[in-house]
């Protein structure tokens, strides 16, 4: 079983940007000492939901500060960067870190990103898929050119080639069935976010497995990454209470700065996400406070034993072999480090997988 930590770089009012970034470096170092196998950084722009705007830069620094910890991105927003640039930067970090850089891709879900960087949000699916094809060619072929709708240029040799052959690990944040299908067909493991119910995760992985088999791929060879919240406390109630305020703030920040219903209605390529929001409203699940309360109940939050029990269930449902925990919910650097330690010493030994 691989354990990772999510380095959110969320910036609440009571912390400065500097404190958030310095704590992020410290968490990665502590995680390495405690035997975690990975740390994952996020890309966001123009929002305190996350103040890391460049996953490559932060990953580069963290790889330089660590020796064995893998640094992944969850996610790098693929449509915002030219795929050849992303292929180049990934290969560079892969070489420098001896393969410790793992690239997680997503399509983006914050409107200001597309507005500022002049990227068409209706084209994210095509640009990510055509982009990944180009990245694969850049990593494995001597020269790469393009004559596609999204990208076109005469063949060029791309330097450097990656150290990891045939290519560095690529993950895909897949929620919608069409992205799950595409990831499965191409053999990219998913970055899964734990939802309100394990059944949702189970169905998504089953769908992935079906598409993988149809494409002649072995689903058991794929190691998905499952992201959830983790917090150990004296009791379930106390643990939940310690992080509730910040998790709620984080959710609201994301809701305010991310695509809203009005945006999604204009984007046929985000139809699945619109339908989910509508469905939640129809079922009366659109109240932030109760949604977060229910969601936290489904995460490993509670005593060490309760956390281990939930992790066992989550792992059973998802088949995940790599669980990444968001552990900063207390909003306190020392409590977060203690939380990481308690998971490593008290919770993980109780997990069966």
Binding residues for its own copies, how many (CB under 8 A)? 48
Burial category of 29 from C-beta neighbours within 10 Å (exposed 0-12, middle 13-18, buried 19 and up): middle
Write down the least CB distance from residue 50 to its own copies, Å: 8
Sign of dihedral through CA atoms 225, 231, 235, 238?
Answer: negative
249 counts as binding its own copies under rule CB under 8 A: no
- CA-to-CA separations, 188 to 41, 191, 347, in angstroms, rounded: 19, 9, 29
Q: Of 7, 132, 158, 323, which one interacts with its own copies (CB under 8 A)?
A: 158
- 2 contact partners, CB below 8 Å, separation of at least 6: 37, 38, 223, 321, 322, 323
Considering beta carbons, is residue 164 or 209 the nearer one to its own copies? 164
> Do residues 14 and 328 make contact, with C-beta atoms less than 8 angstroms apart?
no
Write down the least CB distance from residue 135 to its own copies, Å: 13
DSSP state letter for 283? T
Structure tokens at 304: 């060490």
Considering beta carbons, is residue 58 or 317 the nearer one to its own copies? 58
DSSP state letter for 133? H
Considering beta carbons, is residue 102 or 322 the nearer one to its own copies? 102
Nearest Cα residue to 202 out of 316, 56, 340? 316
Considering beta carbons, is residue 167 or 224 the nearer one to its own copies? 167
Write down the least CB distance from residue 97 to its own copies, Å: 7
Nearest Cα residue to 211 out of 164, 267, 172, 166? 172
156 counts as binding its own copies under rule CB under 8 A: yes
Write down the least CB distance from residue 171 to its own copies, Å: 19
Considering beta carbons, is residue 46 or 244 the nearer one to its own copies? 46
Look at the chain and count its residues: 353
Considering beta carbons, is residue 29 or 306 the nearer one to its own copies? 29
> Cα–Cα distance between 167 and 5 in angstroms, integer?
24
> Cα–Cα distance between 15 and 225 in angstroms, integer?
29
Q: Of 33, 35, 68, 115, which one interacts with its own copies (CB under 8 A)?
A: 115
266 counts as binding its own copies under rule CB under 8 A: no
> Do residues 267 and 275 make contact, with C-beta atoms less than 8 angstroms apart?
no
Would you give the binding string for its own copies spanning residues 284-303, x where CB under 8 A is met? Answer: --------------------
> Cα–Cα distance between 58 and 79 in angstroms, integer?
19
> Do residues 322 and 225 make contact, with C-beta atoms less than 8 angstroms apart?
yes
Write down the least CB distance from residue 104 to its own copies, Å: 16
Residues 43-102 that bind its own copies (CB under 8 A): 45-48, 51-54, 56-65, 82, 84-85, 88-89, 92-93, 95-97
157 counts as binding its own copies under rule CB under 8 A: yes
Of 42-50, 184-192, 242-250, 286-294, the segment contacting its own copies by CB under 8 A is 42-50
Q: Which residues bind its own copies (CB under 8 A)?
A: 11, 17-18, 21-22, 25, 45-48, 51-54, 56-65, 82, 84-85, 88-89, 92-93, 95-97, 112, 115-118, 153-154, 156-161, 163
């Amino acid at each position: 079983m691989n354990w990772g930590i999510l380095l959110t770089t969320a910036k609440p009012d009571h912390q400065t940007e500097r404190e958030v970034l310095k704590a992020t470096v410290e968490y990665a170092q502590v995680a390495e000492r405690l035997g975690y196998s990975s740390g994952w950084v996020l890309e966001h722009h123009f929002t305190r939901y996350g103040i890391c705007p460049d996953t490559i830069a932060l990953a580069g620094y963290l790889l330089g500060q660590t020796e064995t910890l893998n640094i992944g991105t969850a996610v790098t927003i693929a449509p915002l960067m030219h795929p050849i640039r992303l292929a180049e930067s990934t290969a560079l970090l892969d070489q420098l870190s001896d393969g410790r850089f793992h690239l997680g891709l997503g399509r983006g879900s914050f409107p200001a990103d597309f507005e500022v960087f002049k990227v068409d949000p209706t084209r994210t699916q095509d640009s990510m898929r055509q982009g990944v094809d180009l990245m694969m060619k850049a990593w494995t072929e001597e020269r790469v050119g393009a004559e596609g709708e999204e990208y076109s240029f005469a063949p060029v040799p791309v330097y450097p080639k990656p150290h990891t052959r045939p290519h560095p690990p690529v993950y895909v944040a897949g929620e919608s069935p069409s992205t799950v299908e595409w990831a499965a067909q191409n053999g990219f493991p998913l970055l899964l976010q734990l939802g309100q119910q394990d059944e949702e995760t189970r169905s998504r992985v089953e769908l992935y497995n079906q598409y993988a088999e149809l494409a002649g791929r072995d689903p058991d060879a794929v190691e998905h990454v499952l992201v959830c919240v983790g917090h150990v406390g004296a009791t379930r109630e106390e643990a939940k209470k310690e992080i509730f305020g910040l998790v709620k703030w984080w959710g609201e920040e994301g809701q305010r700065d991310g695509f809203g219903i009005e945006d999604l209605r204009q984007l046929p390529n985000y139809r699945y996400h619109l339908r989910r929001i509508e469905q939640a409203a129809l079922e009366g699940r659109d109240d932030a406070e109760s949604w977060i309360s229910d969601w936290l109940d489904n995460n490993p939050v509670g005593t060490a034993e309760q956390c281990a029990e939930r992790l066992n269930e989550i792992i059973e449902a998802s088949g995940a072999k790599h669980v990444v925990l968001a552990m900063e919910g207390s909003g306190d650097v020392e409590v977060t480090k203690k939380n990481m330690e308690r998971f490593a010493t008290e919770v993980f030994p109780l997990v069966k997988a």
